[in-house]
Structure 1
Amino acid sequence: MPKRSSAQPHMAVGYGVLTFRLHDCRSLKAKRSVVRSIIGQMRNHFNAAVAEVGANDIHQRARIGFALVGPDHQVINAKMDKLINFVDGLGLAEIIDTEMEIFHL
Structure 2
Amino acid sequence: MYTGTAIFDVLLPGDSRSLKAKRSYVRPIVAALRRLEVSAAEVGGEDLHGRSEVGVAVVSGEHSHVQEVLDACEKLVAGRPEIELLSVRRRVFGQED
Tell me the equivalent position of 1:35. Answer: 26
By how many angstroms is 1:62 displaced?
A: 0.2
- 1:28, 1:58 within 8 Å by CA — same for their partners in 2? no
Identity %: 33
Aligned residues: 94
Aligned-partner Cα distance in 2 for 1:103–1:58:
30
* Cα shift readout 1:10-31 (whole Å, capped 9, x = no counterpart): x211011110000232322111
Between Structure 1 and Structure 2, whose CA radius of gyration is higher? 1
CA contact (8 A) 1:38 1:92 kept: no
- Is this contact kept in 1: 2:12–2:83, CA < 8 A? yes
Matched, 1:14 2:14: no
**Superposition misfits of 4+ residues, deviation over 6 angstroms:** none
Q: Displacement of 1:32 after TM fit?
A: 0.7
**Structure 1 regions of 5+ residues with no counterpart?**
1-10
Deviations 1:13-59 (A, max 9, x none): 10111100002323221111111110011001x11111111110212
Provide the alpha-carbon RMSD of the alignment. 1.1
Q: Deviations over 1:33-89 (max 9, x none)?
A: 111110011001x11111111110212000011101112111111211111011211
**Which residue does the alignment assign to 2:67?**
77
